[in-house]
Structure 1
């Protein structure tokens, strides 16, 4: 059994794994792969969450390197309760834990979008499904007037709650997002099992791009409180057009991402300079 750790139970992080399971790609390659919460399974040698893995690599906590990147468009949004909030800017934003990659994304898009005196105060909530629901509840209850939510929720489903998509992170920045990272202290990038997982998930990317029924089934199975039509729209509008980046773009965007994140985390010297170099 191979453990694939995930950072958050978002569609964009797990959809290729789910397709590989459903389409029988893992079975045909003779491997068994189980997705597990990375925080509960530090022994997992593989990670689906590339942003969180890069944070750990920069901080010297683990020796992650990337074997596959699914997309360069982070699938997170800022949602507000009223369309009018967009022009003035929110005053309180429900976001992710301090020090997390999504928190860093949030600070980056806020500073780019609003002047320093207009940047909202940030309320930090836990990672994972618990935090997803807490951020949504904070927004709907009025405890916050904006919230950062990922692809665990379909945008069309959130719109039915009367919420407004104020900003899509994937339009505001590019960052190698979701895929397969390898902890080189626990296994090798060249290990046959890693190659098989990369092959299976690369085949899954093709299913996402073609909007194959197995991809739709996978998306629908991963969403919170959403219909099959919501899943279809998420697949068509956000996943299919953006999955399967050119490796040359991955390395170029990754170099910029690494420089920015090292500065944002204020780590100084680090050993993650070759984090993306294995992507081919």
Structure 2
């Protein structure tokens, strides 16, 4: 049996769901690969490079800024699962002008995406709002600061369900990042400096990932159960609504991506990061499936 390390670089169903399904349904073993799922949230880039990674967003940023030859072989979704929550006094993103916004660091994938979304609503993230850079996690600190009023809004990730969190804490959901910025952002990628895309372990990993994607799409009751396992604070009904709103419509069934979406996204990321030489998205994302 082949072996490979697979690293997630963020928490929540955005990064974890598909790998969790593949593991729990025993797809890795059935495809002939032993996968060591590694928590790389606090790893530096060099350590992540020696593994396969789920975090395509982080990989793309390092490709754009540092030329590291990450290659994405399978895409889970083109809709980043991040949301902008605000105190109830704010009715729109545009209304946050001058407000204090909790946001991921600007040169991380979710931070970069959030800044792009703010700009698309006419807000310069450095001048029109007061950015409060906060480390991601379970986002409990973000919610507490919104409740106490030291933040006016905050970008949060998929360790929570935004509608439920908003209702429980008297907040307002202002935006789903995936509605305003699309980029192939989770899946399977390898740094070709260290790992060949046609390595048998990689090919088996991609096959298992695609099987998990089909399961997420074709077996909603099972997928809802796994969503609920990853966000246990939800009721079964809430988990089903979350799946139906953010997973079922947007997760791919076969790991393929839209090349036009990828090209536009890479250009937007390069512009936000101030990089003048934009890599070809077709060199980052493989359109055709890897064959085993």
Structure 1 length-normalised TM: 0.90
1:173 corresponds to: 181
2:204 corresponds to: 196
Match of 2:162 among 149, 152, 155: 155
2:18 corresponds to: 16
Q: Does 1:240 align with 2:224?
A: no
Residues 70-85 of structure 1: pairs in structure 2 closer than 5 A: 70-82=76-88, 84-85=90-91
Q: Kindly provide the CA deviation profile for residues 208-227 of structure 1, in whole angstroms up to 9, marking residues without a partner as x.
A: 22343332232122226333
Q: Does 1:33 align with 2:35?
A: yes
Moved more, 33-42 or 235-244: 33-42
Contact 2:75 2:257 in 1 (8 A): no
1:211 and 1:164, CA in 2 relative to 1: closer, same or farther beyond 3 A? farther
Q: Distance in 1 between matches of 2:95 and 2:184?
A: 31
Q: Does 1:45 align with 2:54?
A: no
Note the C-alpha offset of 1:279. 4.5
Q: Distance in 2 between matches of 1:264 and 1:151?
A: 23
Note the C-alpha offset of 1:249. 4.8
| SS of match in other structure, 2:187 | strand
Note the C-alpha offset of 1:246. 7.6
2:146 corresponds to: 139
Q: Does 1:251 align with 2:259?
A: yes
Unaligned ranges ≥5, structure 2: none
Calculate the aligned-residue CA RMSD, in Å.
2.4
Note the C-alpha offset of 1:245. 6.7
Structure 2 length-normalised TM: 0.86
| SS of match in other structure, 1:216 | helix
| SS of match in other structure, 2:33 | coil
Note the C-alpha offset of 1:157. 2.6
Unaligned ranges ≥5, structure 1: none
Number of paired residues? Answer: 278
